[in-house]
C-alpha cells in the first residue's frame, strides 16, 4: 500500500481511538507530508473539522503554487465542503481510499479539472462500515444523513 494512504488510514484510526469519526487525510508536496489530520468534529465540538479540512489547517498557510503541486490523500470521498476547499486552494490531484460508504462530490471535482484516483481500499471500507454500524447516530449527524 502507498505510504501516504497508509498515513491517512493511521489518521483515521487515531480519530476513532479518540471517540470520533474514522476519516483521515494527508496533504503531500514534493514527496513529503506537509499536513495531516483526521475528522475531529466530535473531539473539538466543531462543525467543520473533517479529515481534509484538518489536514489543510495543519499544513498552515501555503502559497498557491504549493497547493497546485500537492496531492491530497483522503480515506473517504470528499464531501461538498471539503471538495470546495480542494477547489478553492487549487489542489489538482486527490487520492480517495473509498467511495462505497459515502459518495462525495467526485463529479464536481472532475468537472473542474481535479484528477481523482479512487482506490477501493479494503481497510478504508472496513473502517467506515464498522463505524457506521456501531455509531449510526453519530454518522447521521453530518454527511451520513445524505446516504
- List, for residues 39-74, the tens digit of each pLDDT value: 999 999 999 999 999 999 999 999 999 999 999 999
Return the exposure string of 43-75: e unless at least 16 CB atoms fall within 10 Å of the residue's CB, then b. eeeeeebbbbbbbbebbeebeeebbebbbbbbb
Give this prediction's pTM: 0.95
Indicate if the pLDDT at residue 146 is higher than 70: no
Going by the DSSP 8-state scheme, the letter that residue 146 receives in this structure is: G
User: And the C-alpha cell for 66?
Assistant: 504549493
Cα distance between residue 46 and residue 44, in whole Å: 5
- Residues acting as catalytic residues: 52
Amino acid at each position: 500500500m502507498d505510504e501516504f494512504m497508509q498515513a491517512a488510514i493511521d489518521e483515521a484510526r487515531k480519530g476513532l481511538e479518540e471517540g470520533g469519526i474514522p476519516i483521515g487525510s494527508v496533504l503531500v508536496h514534493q514527496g513529503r507530508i506537509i499536513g495531516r489530520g483526521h475528522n475531529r468534529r466530535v473531539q473539538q465540538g466543531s462543525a467543520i473539522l473533517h479529515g481534509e479540512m484538518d489536514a489543510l489547517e495543519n499544513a498552515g498557510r501555503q502559497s498557491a503554487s504549493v497547493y497546485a503541486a500537492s496531492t491530497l490523500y483522503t480515506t473517504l470521498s470528499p464531501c461538498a465542503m471539503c471538495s470546495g476547499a480542494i477547489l478553492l486552494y487549487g489542489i489538482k490531484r486527490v487520492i480517495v481510499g473509498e467511495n462505497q460508504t459515502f459518495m462525495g462530490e467526485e463529479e464536481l471535482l472532475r468537472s473542474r479539472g481535479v484528477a481523482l484516483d479512487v482506490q477501493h481500499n479494503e481497510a478504508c471500507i472496513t473502517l467506515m462500515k464498522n463505524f457506521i454500524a456501531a455509531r449510526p447516530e453519530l454518522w447521521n449527524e453530518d454527511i451520513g444523513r445524505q446516504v
